[in-house]
Amino acid sequence: MSDILDEVDEAQALVAKLTELAATEQLLVALDFDGTLAPEVDDPQHARALPEARAAVLKLLALPGTRVALISGRAMDSLEHVANLPDSVLLVGSHGVEFRLDTPDATVNLDTAELEQVDVLSELLEDVAAGLDQVWIEPKPAGFALHTRLATERDSRIAHLQALSETRAEIAGLTVREGKNVLEFSVRSATKGEALLHLKEYAKATAVLYAGDDVTDEDAFAVLGSRDVGLKSGPGKTIAEFRVADPREVAGVLALLADLRSKA
């Protein structure tokens, strides 16, 4: 019984906070993609935002004083492809390495040393993936994601251990992030928290909603202020103020925010 009461209290607190947020002067709605707008799927190329999430994003985009951004671990070209949203949506790819704001230039210019590190990374991770079933690498401008979603638990563990020890032995200062069935390696360090702060300033936002589902989203939750709202999608430890069960419920929150803001 007390669980139900807790859930009711939390839902009421979320609605109250969204009502405040909806009245802010310049709103930034910043969203993670996989696991937040789009349910997880086995092939990353097939991930798509739920239709109701997409509809809510388009409704928010049309409102005055409102910007929408996606902050993703995906490479920019992959994010543009799967999100397929209007150009007015601000995009951040590769966990904050790539930006597509209102001007089209999103190129990452790696220096010679970084390019060499990417080559070394590629060789090492390709070797790891080649020796294990259902382990594969996804290239990004400044690194790679090592995917293990369909691998056995044993192969997945071996892949992570081998990849970590070999890359760390060869490349100094490598950024490694753990996500859902994925280990990400980047020769440029950046976090979703830094990206969110940049977007907040760029959009002159007076308040922010940030929603995300994975460990890397915790960096974004960490930079939110008292007027902002952090929304965790799904299970797992979080510092976000609020939690919903899955992308379907995230879509519900976005639709409610759009509705409240259109009336505010």
Ligand X SMILES: O=P(O)(O)OC[C@H]1O[C@H](O[C@H]2O[C@H](CO)[C@@H](O)[C@H](O)[C@H]2O)[C@H](O)[C@@H](O)[C@@H]1O
Q: Which residues bind ligand X (CB under 6 A)?
A: 32-35, 40-42, 44, 47, 72-74, 138, 145, 147, 149, 179-182, 184, 214
Q: How far is the CB of 177 from ligand X (least distance, A)?
A: 8
In the numeric block, the tokens 């928290």 are attached to: 193
User: Using an 8 Å Cβ cutoff, are 144 and 122 in contact?
Assistant: yes
Residue 57, token pair as written in the block: 């994003």
Of 140 and 200, which CB lies nearer to ligand X in the complex structure?
A: 140
The DSSP code sequence of 85-108 is --TTSEEEEGGGTEEE-SSS----
Angle of helix 51-61 versus helix 247-263 axis, rounded to 10: 30
Of 214 and 228, which CB lies nearer to ligand X in the complex structure?
A: 214
Q: What are phi and psi of 84, to 5 degrees?
A: 45, 55
Q: How far is the CB of 197 from ligand X (least distance, A)?
A: 17
Of 222 and 264, which CB lies nearer to ligand X in the complex structure?
A: 222
Q: How far is the CB of 8 from ligand X (least distance, A)?
A: 30
Of 35 and 234, which CB lies nearer to ligand X in the complex structure?
A: 35
Q: How far is the CB of 41 from ligand X (least distance, A)?
A: 5
CA 181 to CA 234: how far, in whole Å? 15
Distances in Å between the Cα of 24 and the Cα atoms of 61, 207, 217, 264 are 15, 6, 23, 9
Q: How far is the CB of 119 from ligand X (least distance, A)?
A: 20
227 Cβ contact partners less than 8 Å away, ≥ 6 residues apart? 20, 21, 24, 206, 207, 208
Of 22 and 231, which CB lies nearer to ligand X in the complex structure?
A: 231
Q: How far is the CB of 75 from ligand X (least distance, A)?
A: 7
Of 65 and 139, which CB lies nearer to ligand X in the complex structure?
A: 139
Q: How far is the CB of 216 from ligand X (least distance, A)?
A: 6
Of 149 and 243, which CB lies nearer to ligand X in the complex structure?
A: 149
What single DSSP character describes residue 19? H
Q: Which residue's beta carbon is nearest to the bound ligand X?
A: 73
Q: Describe the strand order of the beta sheet including 175-179 as a list of residue ranges.
A: 136-140, 143-147, 182-186, 175-179
